[in-house]
Chain A
Amino acid sequence: MPTDILSPQLSYGPIAPLLIVFGTALVGVLVEAFVPARRRRLAQIVVAIVGLLAAFVAVVLLAGTHELVFADAIAVDGMTLFLQGTLAVLGIAAILLISERSLDASGGAVVSRAAVLPGSREDVALAEATDVQTEIYPLALFSLGGMMLFPASNNLLLMFIALEVLSLPLYLMAGLARRRRLLSQEAAMKYFLLGAFSSAFFLYGVALLYGYAGSVDLGEVAAATGLAQSNEALLLAGIALLAVGLLFKVGAVPFQAWTPDVYQGSPTPVTALMAACTKIAAFGGLLRVFYVGFGSVEWDWEPMMWAVAILTMVVGALLAVTQTDVKRMLAYSAVAHTGFILVGVIALSPAGLAGTMFYLLAYGFTTLAAFAVVTLVRDSSGEATHLAQWAGLGRKSPLVAGTFAFFLFALAGIPLTSGFMAKFAVFTAAVDSGATGLVVVGVVTSAVTAFFYARVVVLMFFSEPAPDGPTVSVPSGFTAGAIALGLAVTVVLGVLPQPVLDLAEQASRLVS
């Protein structure tokens, strides 16, 4: 029978976290439609948080699963579950940040109608309007669902779909800032255009790999790389184009150009979501593709990844030094950290995988909380993100400035913070795999990154406050909770990292 299509064996249990998050997002859409406007915000917050908690519980219950489901399209293994669990918790923290309403006098950081022409009279009125924008909750959930699917995809076509599902809501959310609308819309536009380009590269890469292996299944691709008669050129071009798409998402040089603009223009809670969660998801995909798909042809891609990693560390660190805006500085610091994480990816060993996952978790919580602190420092026109405005903050609000300084030291990798343990984990794995050169570049650029982190600390603690400087707003429980969570994780992983290291080590098995 020519049309005999085998229907795949479907088992829904292992993908329960995905189903829950996507289901919750759909419930969110229904809430938009049916719940009265006054109660909508509360309903959305409850739905989103309950959904993510449920997803987290599902991940915990699934622990130890190690199988391919849905015709080998979805891999549910240690890495998938580790990253999904991390994403669920970080997602809750991000939802908390988005829900904050007591910082901006008129309401949250999100504008109620994003399509209004920036600068028009209507737009000016919007900045002070107290309308609430609640569509962002289902958007965030769809995006988180895509992020959870991305590292689980064992099939390049499914991975492309996950990429789009995670990206499209983010493009929208980037344009939702209440203040500085033009910047925000520019960020959304740039992110969309460049993102679309990178998606096209990714898709082209998938097509070439299909030509090479006759399948978009990562297992089949891996099997094909073992055969001699295949067309080497298709494979190399496929790897390169696929890598462009993935490296764009992680924000590696030379595909980092969008990072500072998008990080700066987006509403800060959304920036926090992107910085923490998108990076985790994108690295999950990168790990899956390179460890499962191209693990046996490492000699073909390692030189390229070495170059990318070195460039990313050096360019990220050097450009961060010149920044004068705290969000842009954190964006370039994110680029530098992408480089450090790539060092773990290149190790191509279980230790490298475990170290990378540990790094992603540690970095996610620290950076999310750091952006959360940024939302607190405000003047009359919204967040005061220019670094000069942060002068003397330590004098005025020692607690907030001290917390931020701690996050900066964690990002700089000072011992007794999670950042140090994370760096140690990936660097050790890399040296163990013979990538000593990368590690030397890594430690030297770490010293450079310490320079600009220390400069912010100098500004906050050792400079006189500006007379008309910003004030530190007292957040409600939402933001405070997110910051406290980030602080706790940063401290605990810095002092007693063993349980999470164990978890990452057990999770460093990929099904193929």
Chain B
Amino acid sequence: MTDLPWLTILGVVPLVGAAVLMALPRRQELLAKQVALLTSLVVLVLTIVMCAAFVPAGDRFQFVQAYDWIPAFGVQYAVGVDGIALVLIALIAVLVPVVVLASWHDADAVHVEQLPVRGTTSAPVATATAGSGASSVRVGGGTAVLDPPVATPPPPPADPPRRGSVRSFFALLLVLETMMIGVFAATDVFLFYVFFEAMLIPMYFIIGSYGGPRRSYAAVKFLLYSLFGGLLMLAAVIGLYVVSAGQGEGTFAFEQLVGLEMSTGVEIALFSGFFIAFAIKAPLFPFHTWLPDAGAEAPVGGAVLLVGILDKVGTFGFLRYCLPLFPEASRILGPYVIVLCVIGILYGALLAMGQRDLKRLISYTSISHFGFIALGVFAFTSQSQTGAVLYMVNHGLSTGALFLVVGFLIARGRSRLTEDYSGVANVAPVLGGTFLVAGLSALALPGLSTFVSEFLVLLGTYSRYPVAAVLAAIGVILAALYILLMYQRTMQGPLRLPAGIGDRIPDLRLREVLAVAPLLALMVFLGFYPKPLTDVITPAVDATMLDAGFTDPAPTQGNGAPAAAPTR
């Protein structure tokens, strides 16, 4: 079964789904959504089967395929996954159907959620409502009427601004899924770069066509930041190729590029090209300023994928490319990166506390969390790096869930401001409950999966950079503050809702529960039993450490008590 070209199939299925979507008549909105959901579920099932076929103790890269693509440049279509890429692809496969389900109405005649304007309303257009009411084809053999229209006050403005069509929204999501799978599956640096850049285009359209009031500003900012970083990386990719060509055949194959000999100066220059691209993507302080805008203006589904997956390409890139390809530069520049990470952790958390806009708030919490992930990567211990990879997965689940729940709240209240809400849990207990669990996972409560990863990162970091670990731990306290404050302000206390909404909002509907429940369940499960993940991740991390020439315990450790001995 491992002979099947799994990764290629995974990449092609969403593309086919997208093509089918674009071939559908424009009016068939419900059918388009169903096709999208079905496609993403097929990918999920395929991914589960593939994960089951993955042998943790086997080769480092599995499901490998390599064909010449552009021999003139030594470029191959080469894919394969190690444990790190595998868990991230699994995360994609989980998040995309969730996002499709949660974004069911996001592309319908769209409401404009302008910030202070709380009166703009919209109900799903008549056709879509009728369609969803009539549908009985749903996941898990669901009930006939999963999804009655939101009971918002009647009539929408005469001519609600129409953005893109429903089918293109879901087609863009599926194309994005292909690109995201490709970027993690690529084992050829050129191919990785192609996906890295091409991935921007669907996200650009998702933000720009379906986002909030300042969507085009946010979309352009997102595109230009990422493109700028990507182009610097292009220069570094070319440099890498030329260096490899100087020592024989020019190549982009990852495994041949590892251990390439170059002078320290060249290494630092190439490292910087890659690092800046990834630091913008991740984003690390001070390259983060695009994320709050993009995260706040993107439609909720887009924001989940943006923060949950796209940004992980940055941290994944640190681990996969920066460290093994440029070990010397990583060693020299690592401490400076650690400083950036610690600043990012604290700065992101402090800014998160000061936000009034719920989606911006979550974006800033992510900046803090990405600081943790990068800290784990650049602490160069197997514990911290395993923790960082776990963190990537858990952050995708937890921030995904948080974005979704906040999105549900905003869809009801038509306002993104915290002060517009109070006591919502009184009238919508399920919404309040899921909000609480998602929030607790974001602050890494023991028992939830995020705790495991955060703990591993801090533990591993302490053995090499005790001061950084101590400072980063302050971020944990700040996380509790910003999450609990947000929960307290919006969900508890006397009921208050944005003006024009009335005094009731509906609780979560079955569709929304179905969307968010898998994420919460996974977080609880992985919180108690992370072994399936760590089993897969650890060998890959060890291989990365070996490539980069780092060893546990930290060689720079003083004579004091050796840090908790990493036994892996």
Residues of A within 8 A of B (CB): 395, 409, 412, 414-416, 420-421, 424-425, 427-428, 431-432, 436, 439-440, 443-444, 446-447, 450-451, 454-455, 457-458, 461-464, 497-498, 501-502, 505
In angstroms, Cα B194 to Cα A421, docked, is 10
Cα–Cα, bound, A426→B51 (Å): 41
Q: Is the CB of B223 within 8 A of A454?
A: yes
Q: How far is the CA of A416 from the CA of B200 in the complex (A)?
A: 12
Q: B72 within 8 Å of A by Cβ?
A: yes
B231 at the interface (CB under 8 A from A): yes
Choose, from B136-144, B208-216, B283-291, B511-519, the stretch at the interface.
B208-216
A349 to chain B, nearest CB (A): 12
A412-B227, A425-B73 are known contacts; what are 15 more A-B pairs with Cβ within 8 Å?
A414-B201, A415-B197, A427-B238, A431-B235, A431-B238, A436-B235, A446-B231, A447-B228, A450-B223, A454-B204, A458-B216, A458-B220, A461-B164, A462-B209, A498-B72
Over the window 150-187 of chain B, the binary record of Cβ atoms lying under 8 Å from chain A Cβ atoms (1 yes, 0 no) is: 00000000000111100000000000000000000000
- Cα separation A457 to B232 with both chains bound (whole Å): 23
Which B residues are in CB contact (< 8 Å) with A462?
163, 208-209, 215-216, 219
Query: Is B37 positioned at the interface, with any CB of A under 8 Å from its CB?
Result: no
A497 cross-chain contacts in B, Cβ below 8 A: 70, 72
A436 to B241, CA, bound (A): 13
B228 touches A454 (CB 8 A): no
24 A-B residue pairs with Cβ-Cβ distance under 8 Å, sorted by A, are: A395-B162, A412-B227, A414-B200, A415-B194, A416-B194, A420-B194, A427-B238, A431-B239, A443-B232, A444-B228, A447-B228, A450-B224, A451-B224, A457-B208, A458-B208, A458-B216, A458-B220, A461-B208, A462-B208, A462-B209, A462-B219, A463-B216, A498-B69, A498-B71
Main secondary structure of the interface of B (DSSP, over half): helix
Cα A189 to Cα B163 in complex, Å, equals: 45
Q: Is the CB of B201 within 8 A of A501?
A: no
| B residues in contact with A458, CB < 8 Å | 208, 216, 219-220
State A424–B239 Cα separation when bound (angstroms): 11
Determine if B205 is an interface residue (Cβ-Cβ < 8 Å): yes
In the bound complex, CA of A454 to CA of B72 (Å): 30
What is the chain B residue whose CB lies nearest that of A447? Answer: B228
Main secondary structure on A side of the interface with B: helix
Q: Does B543 contact A (CB under 8 A)?
A: no
- A436 — nearest CB in chain B belongs to which residue? B239
Tell me whether B242 and A431 are in contact (CB under 8 A).
yes
B227 adjacent to A447 (CB under 8 Å): yes
| Cα separation A461 to B195 with both chains bound (whole Å) | 23
A432 and B246 alpha carbons, distance in the complex (Å): 9
A424 contacts across to B, CB distance below 8 A:
73, 234, 238
Cβ-defined contact, A461 with B205, below 8 A: yes
A428 to B245, CA, bound (A): 11
Q: Which residues of B contact A439 (CB under 8 A)?
A: 235, 238
Q: Inside 8 A of B239's CB, which chain A residues have their CB?
A: 431, 436
Cβ contact within 8 Å between B208 and A428: no
Query: Is the CB–CB distance between A447 and B224 below 8 Å?
Result: yes
CB distance from B263 to the nearest CB of A (A): 14
Tell me if A502 and B72 are in contact (CB < 8 A): yes
Range for the number of chain B residues in contact with chain A? 35 or more
CB of B16 within 8 Å of the partner chain? no
Q: Which residues of B contact A498 (CB under 8 A)?
A: 69-72
The answer, yes or no, to whether B455 is at the interface (CB within 8 Å) is: no
Residue of A nearest to B245 (CB): A432
Distance of A427 Cα from B482 Cα, bound (Å): 47
A454 to B205, CA, bound (A): 11
Indicate the member of B198, B215, B216, B238 with the most A CB atoms within 10 Å. Answer: B238
* Contact A409 B235, beta carbon cutoff 8 Å: no
Contact A505 B72 (CB under 8 A): yes
B70-A444 in contact (CB<8A): no
Q: How far is the CA of A493 from the CA of B200 in the complex (A)?
A: 20
Is B254 on the interface with A (CB-CB < 8 A)?
no
| A415-B193 contact given A432-B245, A447-B224, A462-B215, CB 8 Å threshold | yes
Are A427 and B234 in touch, CB under 8 angstroms? yes
Which A residues are in CB contact (< 8 Å) with B72? 497-498, 501-502, 505
Of A409, A444, A464, which one neighbours B231 at CB under 8 angstroms?
Answer: A444
Residues of B within 8 A of A505 (CB): 72
Task: Tell me which residues across on chain A come within 8 A of B200, comparing CB atoms.
Answer: 414
A454 and B198 contacting across the interface, CB-CB below 8 Å: no
Q: How far is the CA of A436 from the CA of B72 in the complex (A)?
A: 20
Chain B 57-76, CB within 8 Å of chain A: the 1/0 string? 00000000000011111000
The listed residue (A395, A415, A440, A455) touching B235 by CB distance below 8 A is A440
Q: Which of B69, B73, B162, B215 is A428 in contact with, Cβ under 8 Å? A: B73
Of A443, A454, A457, A502, the residue contacting B234 (CB under 8 A) is A443
Residues in A whose Cβ lies below 8 Å from that of B201:
409, 414
CB neighbours of B204 from chain A (8 A): 454, 457
**Is the pair B242, A428 in contact by a Cβ cutoff of 8 Å?**
yes
Which residue on A lies nearest to B224, using beta carbons? A451
- Which 9 A-B pairs give the minimum distances between C-beta atoms? A415-B194, A443-B231, A462-B216, A501-B72, A447-B228, A462-B208, A415-B197, A458-B216, A443-B235
Q: Report the bound CA distance from A424 to B227 in whole Å.
A: 15
Contacts of A431 in B (CB 8 A): 235, 238-239, 242
Which B-chain residue is minimally distant from A499 (CB atoms)?
B72
Contacts of B69 in A (CB 8 A): 498
Closest to B237 in A: A424
Q: Which residues of B contact A395 (CB under 8 A)?
A: 162
List residues of chain B with CB within 8 A of the CB of A455: 220
A450: shortest Cβ distance to chain B, in Å? 5
Residues on the A chain within 8 Å of B195, using CB? 415
For B269, give the chain A residue with the smallest CB separation.
A436
Interface centre among A420, A428, A444 (most CB of B within 10 A): A428
Residues in B whose Cβ lies below 8 Å from that of A412: 227
- Given known contacts A447-B224, A450-B224, A462-B219, A415 and B242 CB-to-CB distance under 8 angstroms: no
Contact A454 B220 (CB under 8 A): yes
A388→B232 CA distance, assembly (Å): 32
Measured CB to CB, the closest approach of chain B to A398, in angstroms, equals 8
A458 to B218 CA separation, bound complex (whole angstroms): 11
Pairwise interchain contact B197-A414, C-beta atoms closer than 8 A? yes
A355: min CB distance to chain B, Å = 10
Q: How far is the CA of A502 from the CA of B235 in the complex (A)?
A: 23
Query: What residues of chain A lie closer than 8 Å to B205, measured between beta carbons?
Result: 461
B220:A501 contact, CB within 8 angstroms? no
A455 to B227, CA, bound (A): 14
How far apart are the CA atoms of A427 and B233 in the complex, in Å?
A: 13
Taking a contact as CB atoms under 8 Å apart, the answer to whether B220 and A428 are in contact is: no
Looking at the assembled complex, report how far the CB atom of A351 sits from the nearest CB atom of chain B, in whole angstroms: 9
Please provide the chain B residues from 500 to 543 with a CB less than 8 Å away from any CB of chain A in the complex: none
